[in-house]
Amino acid sequence: MAAVPCVLRPGAAGAACVQLTEPLPELGDAGDPRLILDADDVDLSAEGLSRLKGAVRLRFGDKLFSAEQLSFDEQTRTVDVQAESTFRNRDLLIRSQSAHFDLDDETGRFEGNEFILPQRSARGRSDLVALARDGRAQLNGVRFTTCAPDSDAWYLEAGSIELDHDEGLGTARNARLRFFGVPILYAPWFQFPIDDRRRTGLLFPTAGESDKTGFDVRVPLYLNLAPNYDATLTPRYMTRRGWQLDTAGRYLLPRAEGDLRYEYLPSDQVTGQPRSYTSFQHRGVLSPRLGLDVRYAEVSDRAYFEDLGGSVDLSSITHLERSARLIYAVPAKYTVRMLVQDYQTIASNLAAVEDPYQRMPQIRFDAITRNDVWDTRLGADAEYVNFVRSGSVQGQRIDLHPFLRMEKDRVSWFANSQLDFRYTGYVLSDTGATQPSRLDRALPAFSAESGLRFERITASGAPQTLEPQLHYLYVPYENQDALPVFDSGEPDFDFTQLFAHNRFSGKDRISDANQFAVALTGRQLDADSGSVRARASIGQLFRFQAPRVRLPGEPAPDRGATDFIGSLDYYLFENWSLRLDTQWSPENAEFTRTGTGLRYSRDGRMAELAYRYRQDLLEQTDLIVSTPLAAGFSLIGRWRYSIRDQSSLDTLASVQYETCCWALRTSYRRYVADTQGRFNSGIYLQLELKGLARIGTAMTNLFPASMVE
């Protein structure tokens, strides 16, 4: 196996680089009993002592000696070298000034050494290396690193290191970790991995500084309890809040997996109250057709994530879900779903009456005939839900929805239609004096859709497609003002809403409709790869009658044409792309909603400029930059700005310096941390010693995944 100038090996702590100066010969089979000697000159004595000179190779099983001269005693089966030599086995390469090795005991002693761990891409030097029969290696007077030979930016020096390849562990005694010669850690006893196996031990601490927590340091203890489950205990100290204990566990079963977490702060120094967070998730299958999903989360108070969560994603959570789902599926026939669901509201700006309803339980059934008859299939879905919420109207709802669907799909055209009937009945409690406890609704519906597919080849040889599409929907009007609103809402008007069978989500409101939608989609394909180079769509909905069904307090849409909905995805050049989603009002001749983004990506560089606008709601810009700079430096940054409020919403910046064996990252963040619009800011620092550990808070914990890909 020939070596390359720089061997890269990704691992848990990043890529490491060790420079090898000569090819590594292939090793033999460990079970091969033959002893193979090769040399330019051999001097044999009657007592069985052989002296070999000139390009000497001694091969025994998976062990190999290379030297200019060595002595071999056939009676004792020992190798003695009093000159520079190289020894190699599966785990070690040792270049020593003198060596003694017993082939029968498979033990050896090497002095004045330089060594390489090929499987770990690490190297070092030591005064003495002693190899034991069980594969352990004892190194005395050691200096160990993953840096290239011309750069000892960091190294671990120790009085002794024991390498146990069976356990995959290195154990150092009287160890000092130096960074550019400066000691940054001392430990009388220290263990580190020499392979990728999980094992119990202390992980390196992380530290940061923020307005909410003050100086924040965590020291994780990892517990490798079994091959299929583990745990992490993390004491955390915050100068503003006090001591907290975070516990997390994971498990993997033959048919399931899950994780659980518990965080506890006995006494918050700011609030004076104990604070906690509990979460549990389980995903698995009980049989080939039956699956189970369980989720549970709870916090002690609504401001927990805002104060202690430490990230925008956590601080923006409004509800925590507690649920259990059972799914029984017979492919291509039917599916049965059962759900029990509750939420804990943690947004401080929401009242109790705005809490989602509990579903105790929800049972859904979906089925459709397996084969069509004259392009027609019969299907049905049904649902039973018991909605529970204190202080509100509660009740049970049953919804039955049989349908008949016709579908034709040909190369140049398609057509489908569907005839629906929906019955919904309620049994209510805690109603007002004038509201009946039993209500129902029965509505038919009809929809039809058709489209054409045109295709041509341009002068440049690139395929182009054009697909006009029409959709008609009719639902008669029925007054539904007396019905409760358990789960219905009105989603944003976007391209999918042009072809929706109901203007509302949920089943408490079924909008009346007499309307058709028209849409046009065009694509430009790449002649060589067939990938889509450009895609543009535009559509509009026309209502023959104004819908009369509405949600409480919400106005109903007008009759006539709606706003135009348009979208565009365009690869301008090889490295440039443009996306656009917009809503334009022909009545007012203005855009009511716009989202656009321009992206550049090439050779590890990425930049994206985005703009979002919603009439009377928000107007924001978002700038993202990720680029390498000169001499190992790189930059990642993000700036979200509200034009309407003339205020920055989120400012993130990280500068990184990276070499083959170490990296230093510093990050700054200021963001909206709670529902009251208050800001939090923090400074984070991370030192990565590749192949050994990361010390500090990782940049990937602070930035969206798309920024660090």
DSSP-assigned letter for residue 180: T
Grade residue 352 by pLDDT with cuts at 50, 70 and 90: low
Q: Tell me which of 398-412, 439-453, 489-503 is least confident.
A: 489-503
What confidence score (pLDDT) does residue 23 get?
54
Grade residue 493 by pLDDT with cuts at 50, 70 and 90: confident
* Chain segment 283-302, per-residue pLDDT in tens: 999 999 999 999 999 999 98
Residue 47 has pLDDT above 70, yes or no: yes
Residues 218-228 as b or e (16 or more Cβ within 10 Å = b): bebebbeeeee
Three-state secondary-structure class, residue 326: strand
DSSP-assigned letter for residue 434: T
User: Is the bond leading into 274 cis (omega within 30 degrees of zero)?
Assistant: no
Three-state secondary-structure class, residue 297: strand
The tokens for 297 are 């989360």
What confidence score (pLDDT) does residue 202 get?
79
Residue 20 has pLDDT above 70, yes or no: no
21: amino acid identity, one letter: T
The tokens for 198 are 């999980």
Question: CA separation (Å) from 6 to 21, 102, 121, 510, 540?
Answer: 9, 33, 10, 66, 59
Mean pLDDT of the chain: 87
* Chain segment 73-124, per-residue pLDDT in tens: 888 889 999 999 999 988 889 999 999 999 888 899 999 999 988 877 788 9
Q: Tell me which of 25-39, 210-224, 431-445 is least confident.
A: 25-39
Q: Give Cβ neighbours of residue 638 (< 8 Å, ≥ 6 apart).
A: 622, 623, 624, 625, 650, 651, 652, 653, 703, 704, 707
* Chain segment 523-570, per-residue pLDDT in tens: 999 887 778 899 999 999 999 999 999 999 888 888 999 999 999 999
- What's the rounded mean pLDDT across residues 130-147? 89
Decide yes or no: CATH 3.60.20.10 for domain 7-197. no
Identify whether the C-beta of residue 666 lies closer than 8 Å to the C-beta of residue 633. no
What confidence score (pLDDT) does residue 208 get?
78
Grade residue 25 by pLDDT with cuts at 50, 70 and 90: low
What confidence score (pLDDT) does residue 556 get?
82
End-to-end C-alpha distance for the chain, whole angstroms? 32
- What's the rounded mean pLDDT across residues 455-484? 93
Residue 17 has pLDDT above 60, yes or no: no
- CA nearest neighbour of 180 among 147, 140, 142: 147
% of residues, the chain, pLDDT over 90: 54
Residues 507-545 as b or e (16 or more Cβ within 10 Å = b): bbbbbbbbbbbebebbbbbeeeeeeebbbebbbbbebee
Question: CA separation (Å) from 685 to 130, 209, 520, 692?
Answer: 40, 9, 51, 17
Count helices and strands in the chain by DSSP H and E runs? 2, 47
- CA nearest neighbour of 641 among 610, 687, 602: 610
What confidence score (pLDDT) does residue 709 get?
44
> What residues are paired with 204 via a beta bridge?
none
Three-state secondary-structure class, residue 391: coil
* Chain segment 600-656, per-residue pLDDT in tens: 998 889 999 999 999 988 999 999 999 998 888 999 999 999 999 899 988 999 999
Residue 24 has pLDDT above 70, yes or no: no
* Chain segment 179-207, per-residue pLDDT in tens: 888 888 888 987 777 777 788 887 878 87
How far apart (Å, rounded) are the C-alpha atoms in residues 210 and 667? Answer: 12
How far apart (Å, rounded) are the C-alpha atoms in residues 678 and 451? Answer: 51
Identify whether the C-beta of residue 363 lies closer than 8 Å to the C-beta of residue 325. no
What confidence score (pLDDT) does residue 686 get?
83
- CA nearest neighbour of 447 among 412, 510, 480, 403: 403
Grade residue 14 by pLDDT with cuts at 50, 70 and 90: very low
Residue 37 has pLDDT above 90, yes or no: no
Using CA of residue 387, residue 391, residue 393, residue 394, what is the dihedral sign? Answer: positive
Could you please report the per-residue DSSP string of 102-126? ETTTTEEEEEEEEEEETTTTEEEEE
What confidence score (pLDDT) does residue 492 get?
87
Could you please report the per-residue DSSP string of 381-414? EEEEEEEE-TTS-EEEEEEEEEEEEEEEE-SSEE
Grade residue 587 by pLDDT with cuts at 50, 70 and 90: confident
The tokens for 526 are 């790449």
Could you please report the per-residue DSSP string of 597-626? EEEEEETTEEEEEEEEEETTTEEEEEEEEE
Look at the chain and count its residues. Answer: 709
Q: Give Cβ neighbours of residue 603 (< 8 Å, ≥ 6 apart).
A: none
- What's the rounded mean pLDDT across residues 1-19? 37
- CA nearest neighbour of 76 among 102, 98, 37: 102
- What's the rounded mean pLDDT across residues 226-255? 95
% of residues, the chain, pLDDT over 70: 92
In the chain, the largest separation of any two C-alpha atoms, in whole Å, equals 118
Question: CA separation (Å) from 466 to 128, 461, 582, 683, 701?
Answer: 76, 16, 20, 52, 44
Identify whether the C-beta of residue 691 lies closer than 8 Å to the C-beta of residue 14. yes
How far apart (Å, rounded) are the C-alpha atoms in residues 462 and 144? Answer: 58
Q: Tell me which of 335-344, 412-421, 432-441, 482-491 is least confident.
A: 432-441
Residue 324 has pLDDT above 50, yes or no: yes
